Structure 1
Amino acid sequence: MILIIAIAHKKILLSFWSVAIAVIFIAIGGWLLTPESQEAKNLKNELNIIVNESVGAISNMDKTRVSSIVVSKTSGGWDVELSLNADKGFTMISTKQLMWENAIKVLESASEINQLHNISLSWIYPVLNEQKNIEDKSVMSFTIDQATRDQIVWENLEPSVLPDLVYDYVEHSLLNE
């Protein structure tokens, strides 16, 4: 009799945990599938306008400037990931310089949005891959936080110091050729 009660108790406990786990998965799945908030859509639209007004809607290689904008709500405000198509300079060094200059233009205007916390910016540029095909890849990326942006005097910022002011600066070797 005790064995039967123990087995029944185990089945009830197992059923309880199965239901609890299912409810958690449904809740998480529903949260992940919720449509983007109106606030997030408005912020993306505002950032798209800032990029287009700061550095143009089309790169000099005839690509739409904004490749993607991703926003996410955090306790400190909004984190933003901008992926932008870069302009081509006369040399790779001048191309890198253009990326820095254009990043400063975008960041200066975007910094006026007070609710932005971290801004991650990635420049997309055509690169020859291992199969000798050209593909668009991120050739420069970095993140800058609000505290750092608030301390910068944008009008006096020398573009070449940008890598020293940001976090997680990554540069493709192509930009040094």
Structure 2
Amino acid sequence: MANMQKKKSGLSFTWPWVLGLVLILLVVGGWMLKPESEEAKNLTARLQITVIEELGEKSNMDKERIVDISVYQVSSGWDAEFILNADKGFTTISTKQLMWQQAIAILAPLSEFGELKDISISWVYPVAGPNDKVTDQSVMSFRLDKTTRDQLIWENVEPSLLPDIAFDYKEHSVLNE
């Protein structure tokens, strides 16, 4: 009988904690699933229009230019991430140079968006993997902060300098073949 009382009191002590944990998870989960704000949707739409005006709706490989645009509110504005399909050049070198040129072409008007702090761009391109299976992969990515962008005179920026002025610049080995 005493043994049963111990089990019962142990269960009664555990249930409030389990119930509290479930409630916390529901509240946090509901907050995380909250739809984007109107401000974020409007900014995303304006960014999409800017990219399409500068680079067109499709790449020269007939893929939608914009894979994804994500905006994130930060303390003093917004950060934006662009995932874009790259155009194919005549050679690997010309393909890389085309990515640099097009990045400069969209960074100039995007820099006029005063609310944008960091802008990250990732270029997607078909890459042959094992067994010659071709998949779209990020082949170049980088980030530019507002301070750096504000110091540049975009008409004078040589595209080949992009790796030197960007933060977190990464390039897939396929661009060096």
Decide: shared fold, TM above 0.5: yes
Task: Trace 1:19-34 onto structure 2 (pairs within 5 A).
Answer: 19-34=19-34
In 1, the alpha carbon distance for the partners of 2:123 and 2:88 equals 11
Question: Cα deviation per residue 1:34-71 (whole Å; 9 max; x = unaligned)?
Answer: 11211111111111111111111111111111011111
Post-superposition offset of 1:171? 0.3
Normalised by the length of structure 2, the TM-score is: 0.90
In 2, the alpha carbon distance for the partners of 1:173 and 1:75 equals 36
Say if 2:145 is the partner of 1:149.
no
Normalised by the length of structure 1, the TM-score is: 0.90
Match of 2:67 in 1: 67
SS of 1:25's equivalent in the other structure is helix
The residue type equivalent to 1:31 in the other structure is W
In 1, the alpha carbon distance for the partners of 2:142 and 2:161 equals 13
In 2, the alpha carbon distance for the partners of 1:86 and 1:104 equals 13
Say if 2:93 is the partner of 1:93.
yes
Moved more, 14-23 or 141-150: 14-23
- Structure 1 residues without counterparts, runs of 5 or longer: none
In 1, the alpha carbon distance for the partners of 2:138 and 2:78 equals 22
Task: Trace 1:1-177 onto structure 2 (pairs within 5 A).
Answer: 8=9, 14-177=14-177
In 1, the alpha carbon distance for the partners of 2:129 and 2:147 equals 37
In 1, the alpha carbon distance for the partners of 2:23 and 2:134 equals 47
In 1, the alpha carbon distance for the partners of 2:11 and 2:61 equals 65
SS of 1:131's equivalent in the other structure is helix
Measured on the aligned residues, the alpha-carbon RMSD in Å equals 2.0
Post-superposition offset of 1:76? 2.6
In 2, the alpha carbon distance for the partners of 1:24 and 1:110 equals 39
The residue type equivalent to 1:71 in the other structure is V
Identity within the alignment, %: 52
SS of 2:95's equivalent in the other structure is helix
Question: Cα deviation per residue 1:90-117 (whole Å; 9 max; x = unaligned)?
Answer: 1111110010010011111111111111
The residue type equivalent to 1:105 in the other structure is A
Post-superposition offset of 1:143? 1.0
SS of 1:81's equivalent in the other structure is strand
Post-superposition offset of 1:167? 1.2
Post-superposition offset of 1:11? 5.5
Moved segments of 4+, more than 6 Å: none
Post-superposition offset of 1:13? 5.1
The residue type equivalent to 1:84 in the other structure is L
In 2, the alpha carbon distance for the partners of 1:24 and 1:105 equals 46
In 2, the alpha carbon distance for the partners of 1:106 and 1:13 equals 60
